[in-house]
Amino acid sequence: MCERQKLLRQIQIHNFAITDVVLYLDGHPTCQPALAYYEKHKQLRDEAVALYNQRFGPLNMRENTNPNRWTWVDDPWPWELEA
């Protein structure tokens, strides 16, 4: 598995963990362990996304960081990598 795929997998794992704990927090909004779990995975996801953006370009259109060029279209789309 290449580095790009590993980073995408990490992002997917953290996104899943965040979505799962958010569903729990909807019913238990003051649960401190769940809030800590959410913050941990949010931070890990943000770090993985930043690293992905730095090495491979924006993961989605909202993460275009170049004010002079729309870099979102420069790299292959994630689904094009498997072809």
pLDDT in tens, 50-75: 999 889 888 877 887 778 888 777 77
- What residue spans define the domains of the chain? 3-56
Segment 6-62, tens digit of pLDDT: 999 999 999 999 999 999 999 999 999 999 999 999 999 999 999 998 898 888 778
| Rg, Å, the chain Cα set | 15
**pTM of the predicted model as reported, rounded to 2 decimal places:** 0.79
